[in-house]
Amino acid sequence: MAVDKVLLTGSTTMLILKLLEDKDMYGYQMIEELSKKSNDTFNLKAGTLYPILHGLENEGMVSSYDDNADHARIRKYYRLTSKGKGLLLDKQAEWTAYSKAVNRVLRGGASYATA
């Protein structure tokens, strides 16, 4: 099921960092992997991905290197740095708090939502 793009926008950075937590990937691979892992729910555009990736690299959250892992062509792989791992934890905590709050409201504000 495709979701409203606005919903994806706020969590894109977290999803990208989460993908890189498991293994180093290149841009196209990330889009494919995200789509696969989310049952085609998240179809990230390359035009959205690269500015975010380059921004994260500038901030030291990810680092990049060239590799020819599949012997097809040399690609730019991204790797999560320790600083990026810290950001991922923060983003995950933020997301958990946010989703709990949304769920609480959707359930009419009942206190058992957080129990």
Residue numbers at the binding site for other proteins (CB under 8 A): 26-28, 32, 45-48, 50-51, 54-55, 58, 60, 63-68, 73-76
**CB 94 → other proteins: shortest distance, Å?**
23
Cβ proximity to other proteins: between 55 and 86 the closer is 55
What DSSP line would sit under 14-73, residue for residue? HHHHHHHHHS-EEHHHHHHHHHHHTTT-----HHHHHHHHHHHHHTTSEEEEEE-TTSS-
Contact yes or no for 19/80 (Cβ under 8 A): no
**CB 13 → other proteins: shortest distance, Å?**
14
**CB 75 → other proteins: shortest distance, Å?**
6
CA pseudo-torsion sign 88, 33, 30, 76: positive
Cβ proximity to other proteins: between 47 and 108 the closer is 47
**CB 79 → other proteins: shortest distance, Å?**
12
Rounded distance between C-alpha atoms, residue 74 and residue 102, angstroms: 43
Cβ proximity to other proteins: between 26 and 42 the closer is 26
